[in-house]
Amino acid sequence: MDATRTEPKAGRTGSRDPLGFRPLYQQVKNVLVKRIVDGAWQPGEALPNEFEIAADLGVSQGTIRKALNELEIEKFLVRRQGKGTYVASHDEARILFQFFKLIPDSNTSEFPESRILGVEVIAADAQTSAVLGLRIGTRAVKIERLRSLAGAVCMFERIHLPRSLFPGIEKLNLPNNLYELYRRDFTVTVVRASEKLKAVAAKRHASRHLGVAVGAPLLAVNRTAFANNDQPVEWRMSLCRTDMMHYWSDLR
């Protein structure tokens, strides 16, 4: 099989999906992710079988199987014994595995609970504009919330969104799982995120909400989340208590 193939057959979306020059199974994986994000297969819907996908893309079933295996590991897909392969939703299990890397010192993985402190529409400042690719002064949405593990407040978050992508979100009763809300109500699917970590000292605003002294050590997690087209769709700053949790990453 030619790993440089660039014109697979048109899929269910009715357009050609360029495979590019990466390892073939990764190229196929990216094509499948794009189709999921573009809505070719909806959450909970079964994918065609491996033979059909292989014929559609012009690759071997082995290549398709390897791509599907990775998507299952990454929680994009769910395999049901004897029934087939289904598109997963942004449920808590997937978010916990793919995007939430902070766990209690007890090492018990769990999805944090959230309490919204405030939501408002603001004019994007220089930093927000730079991260989200907006013009300075463009309307953005700012969300502040607290997150708890095992009933203990452990994180203060400030989230910025382009309001053009999330019109009216400030009027909603925001759920714990924001990424599923983005997908379900605004057809914005987060497929990846980049994070920068830094040790900081608690300032008065964060110390009050987190119940720590001013100057206490915190872990600042600066995350930008992207949709499938590499468009930045969320900027999130999380300030985390270091006396009860740590950052975990499994490097493979």
pLDDT tens for each residue of 202-217: 999 999 999 999 999 9
Which pLDDT does position 44 carry in this prediction? 78
* pLDDT, mean of residues 171-197: 89
Which pLDDT does position 192 carry in this prediction? 84
Mark whether 113 and 62 lie in a shared domain.
Answer: no
Examine the pLDDT at 104 and tell me if it is beyond 60. yes
Average pLDDT, the chain: 84
Mark whether 172 and 47 lie in a shared domain.
Answer: no
CB 128 within 8 A of CB 184: no
Question: What's the pLDDT band for 2 if we cut at 50, 70, 90?
Answer: very low
Examine the pLDDT at 1 and tell me if it is beyond 50. no
Which pLDDT does position 6 carry in this prediction? 38
Boundary residue ending a domain (87, 114, 133): 87
Q: What is the CATH number of the domain that holds 169?
A: 3.40.1410.10
The number of domains in the chain is 2
* pLDDT, mean of residues 219-234: 91
For residue 17, give the nearest of 37, 35, 40 by alpha carbon.
Answer: 35
Which region among 87-101, 150-164, 209-223, 228-242 has the lowest average model confidence (pLDDT)? 87-101
Mark whether 157 and 110 lie in a shared domain.
Answer: yes
Instruction: Report if residue 19 sits inside a domain.
Output: no
- What is the pTM assigned to this prediction? 0.68
Q: How many CA atoms lie within 13 A of 184 on its CB side?
A: 13
Instruction: Report if residue 235 sits inside a domain.
Output: yes
Mark whether 136 and 62 lie in a shared domain.
Answer: no
Domain residues for 32?
24-87
Which pLDDT does position 190 carry in this prediction? 84
